[in-house]
Chain A
Amino acid sequence: MIFLAVFGGLPIIFSLLLVLGHLGGPNSAVSELGQGEISGHGIGTLAAVTSLLENSAFQQNVIATLVVMAISSLVVLASGATLTVWHRLRPSKATAILQFVSVVPLFIPVVIASFALWTFWGDRGFANSLGALIGLPHDFIFSATLEGVVLAEVWVSLPFAVLLLRAGLAGMSDRSLDAARDAGAGPLRVARQIVLPQLRTELTVVFCFTAVGVLGSFTVPYIIGPAKPLLLGVDAVDTFTSYNEPQQAAVIGFAIFVLAAVIGCLYAAGSRMRRARAR
């Protein structure tokens, strides 16, 4: 607990002070070396924040991050739900293998995953070569594009979704499923009308965790993403290490946190509404 307070709480407070323009005290070690800082007095200044918000490159980065986040989370949600519900309703060797395979990315370090996907979907990659060999007219190059980032974020986030949805489905009674089947409902109908409504909590958690994960991700967009627009995680690190602007990096860090907090609030509001309706 103390460890958490010191290495989790304090840094957040320090970085808030830095955002507000307090360059002395605990931040002096960083700010003395940094460039382009705006210092504030009293409670501080929001000048560093506003100057960033007016920056058009930053605006594009925010939009790119949000779009990638939304699409990746939806794809993870849809494919995770398909895999696990399929296995729950019509279990077979194939679905068992699929579930096992879908958890494999959890065990592959993210750097390796990014590198593997980068070469696989690159211009001389397997996908593009295969496409050319069988005479498909399009290029299958996704490295250095935002689409590639989505592909990789999905690859990396799928295991957690599968594990969580599996846990939710394991707790579901066979009786309601059997009853619906006996009434003549096909698997799609059982999935839509019986399984998915009961799985709503898990689905929300998967969506929110994936969204927050994508928001704060660095490795995947750093290796696979385009040079412009950048995802915010890459933007924050670049600003810190390449441009040596710790204050601006802290502001970007806070922007990521605010976006993550918005998702968290949406989740909390959603679950409160559900609980109210259940009562």
Chain B
Amino acid sequence: MPVHAEGGLVREERVGGRPELEVKRTGSFVTPVVSVVLFVAAVFFIVAPLGWLLVLSFAKGFNFPSLTPTSITLGWWRDVFNSPGLVHSVFLSVTIAPVVLVVSAVLCLPAAYAIGRSDFFGKRAVLLSIFSVNAFPRISLYVSMIPLLFLLNLMGTILGVVVVQLIGTLLFMTWIPATGFAAVPAELVEAARDAGATKFQVFRRVLLPLARPSITVAAVLAFLAAFDEAQGTFLVGAPNYITMPVQMYNLVLNYPVGVSAVFAVLLSIPSVLLLLSVRKVLFGAGTSSAFHLR
């Protein structure tokens, strides 16, 4: 794993290089204590709320301030699986988000290729407009999209939901693959050309494999953006298309905490699986080059 590889390298150098400095430093007692406190605080801050959610989904109730539930129950889970509305929104979410991802890839990857590999008139303008739509606060963009969606008869349709979720994926799907395509060294492309490769072969055999990490990162972020999208989906899709995140609002406001906790745990499963499967890519060199700023 790159994280450990680069970590190990630096540490070896330091330990081997100057042991005497390590002893001399007066802060050497304070630093481990501070480190441990920081470490525990950070992990507590980030992970504990999620663990708490898992506890809540099996807890019958609590006697404040006890941290252990009065008794353990599977009732909340049964409630969720017995309500067709909730199951339907699980189904909607896991079907709409992949569709959005595919449409986004079809729309954006050619654009990303063009931005990354060629200089054309108005390239800056294209990039700038993608950025400015993204800088325009999402919520006001959705609200101002509504007249247009009414005009096009997209309000309350599945197509409207796809359009709304697509907006949030555009920046990821153009910007990150574009930097990936741009990072491929020109010599490699020329070498392939000299060896007699056609333009398409160069793309398939050289550019695509080298840009794949950045495309993967972009796809992950785009999928999450679509899967996560609730505000626009609610405005456009309600009441016909209630995806999981939208349903979550409803649950949080109107249902017992246990039901919401179960649903939240369910909704986290695809994301956590995704996180574990792309961990290496996300912490690898691909992400670094994808986020590299010029």
**Chain B residues, CB < 8 A from A99:** 3, 283
| A246-B289 Cα distance, complex, nearest whole Å | 42
Q: In the assembled complex, how far is the CB of residue A181 from the closest CB belonging to chain B, in whole angstroms?
A: 7
**Chain B residues, CB < 8 A from A4:** 129-130, 133, 170
**Interface membership of A85, Cβ < 8 A:** no
User: A111-129 CB contact bits vs B (8 Å, 1 = yes)?
Assistant: 1111111111100111011
| A112-B269 Cα distance, complex, nearest whole Å | 12
A253 engages B135 (CB within 8 Å): no
Interface size on A, residues (CB 8 A): 105
Which secondary structure dominates chain A's binding surface? helix
**Chain B residues, CB < 8 A from A30:** 146-147, 150
| With A8-B133, A182-B18, A261-B135: A116-B11 Cβ-Cβ less than 8 Å | no
- Which residue in A109, A174, A256 is a CB contact (below 8 Å) of B227? A109
| A263-B228 Cα distance, complex, nearest whole Å | 26
- Measured as residues with beta carbon below 8 angstroms from the partner, the interface class of chain B is 35 or more
**CB-nearest residue of chain A to B289:** A167
**Interface membership of B64, Cβ < 8 A:** yes
B11 engages A92 (CB within 8 Å): yes
| With A98-B39, A171-B292: A216-B67 Cβ-Cβ less than 8 Å | no
| A166-B107 Cα distance, complex, nearest whole Å | 29
**Interface membership of B62, Cβ < 8 A:** yes
**Interface membership of B72, Cβ < 8 A:** no
B65 engages A98 (CB within 8 Å): no
A108 engages B13 (CB within 8 Å): no
**Chain B residues, CB < 8 A from A128:** 65
A29 engages B288 (CB within 8 Å): no
**Interface membership of A15, Cβ < 8 A:** yes
**Interface membership of A249, Cβ < 8 A:** yes
User: A82-114 CB contact bits vs B (8 Å, 1 = yes)?
Assistant: 110001001110111111111111111111111
Which of A36-44, A45-53, A54-62, A232-240 lies on the face that meets chain B?
A232-240
**CB-nearest residue of chain A to B131:** A264
A119 engages B166 (CB within 8 Å): no
| With A107-B272, A126-B52, A167-B291: A115-B147 Cβ-Cβ less than 8 Å | no
**Chain A residues, CB < 8 A from B42:** 79, 83, 98, 101-102
**Interface membership of A244, Cβ < 8 A:** no
**Chain A residues, CB < 8 A from B47:** 101, 104
**Chain A residues, CB < 8 A from B228:** 109-111
CB-CB contacts below 8 Å: A222-262 with B: 222-223, 233, 236-237, 240-241, 246, 249-250, 252-254, 256-257, 260-261
**Chain A residues, CB < 8 A from B170:** 3-4
A7 engages B163 (CB within 8 Å): yes
**Interface membership of B199, Cβ < 8 A:** no
Residues of A within 8 A of B (CB): 1, 3-12, 14-15, 18, 26-27, 29-30, 79, 82-83, 87, 90-92, 94-121, 124-126, 128-133, 155, 158, 163-164, 166-168, 170-171, 174, 178, 181-182, 184, 186, 188, 201-202, 205, 212, 215-219, 222-223, 233, 236-237, 240-241, 246, 249-250, 252-254, 256-257, 260-261, 264
| Closest A-B pairs by Cβ, 6 of them | A253-B140, A216-B137, A15-B144, A91-B7, A132-B65, A8-B133
Known: A101-B47, A104-B46, A115-B53. 13 other contacts (CB 8 A): A12-B133, A12-B144, A94-B39, A107-B268, A109-B244, A116-B264, A125-B52, A126-B48, A126-B52, A166-B287, A212-B137, A256-B139, A260-B136
